[in-house]
């Protein structure tokens, strides 16, 4: 059952209604986003809104790259299994 949790991002508090088991994931994500915002604010002199937008984009890019790596990993395992089957079949010939 969803529950309301608060999280701070860029020194603002937000309330999200999520399942209890997702709280830790939400907190880690907010921490990661805040770290990116801090990093960007040290590098670039622009508004907090710009830092937030850039951080969200960078975190999203990392997320998409992770999804691709997982997909490639699963496909790689399937290819390895097919290659092993082909090798076994060739050895039997």
Burial class (CB in 10 A: 0-12, 13-18, 19+), 86: exposed
Reduced to 3 states, what is the DSSP secondary structure of residue 47? coil
CA atoms within 13 A of residue 70's CA, in its CB half-sphere: 6
Give the Cβ contact number of residue 46 at 10 Å. Answer: 12
How do the domains of the chain map onto residue ranges? 2-92
Token pair 């999203």 in the structure block, residue: 60
Residue whose C-alpha is closest to residue 40's, from 59, 28, 54? 54
pLDDT recorded at residue 18: 94
The band of 78, judged by pLDDT with boundaries at 50, 70 and 90, is confident
Q: Using one digit for the tens of pLDDT, what is the confidence trace for 33-71?
A: 999 999 999 999 999 899 999 999 999 999 899 888 887
pLDDT recorded at residue 68: 83
pLDDT recorded at residue 26: 94
pLDDT recorded at residue 83: 85
């Amino acid at each position: 059952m969803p529950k309301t949790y608060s999280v701070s991002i860029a020194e603002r508090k937000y309330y999200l209604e999520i399942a209890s088991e997702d709280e830790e994931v939400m907190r880690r994500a907010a921490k990661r986003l805040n770290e990116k915002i801090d990093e960007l604010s040290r590098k670039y002199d622009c508004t907090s809104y710009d830092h937030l937008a850039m951080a969200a984009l960078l975190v999203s890019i990392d997320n998409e790259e992770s999804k691709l790596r997982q997909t490639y990993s699963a496909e790689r395992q399937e290819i390895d299994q097919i290659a092993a089957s082909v090798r076994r079949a060739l050895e039997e010939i």
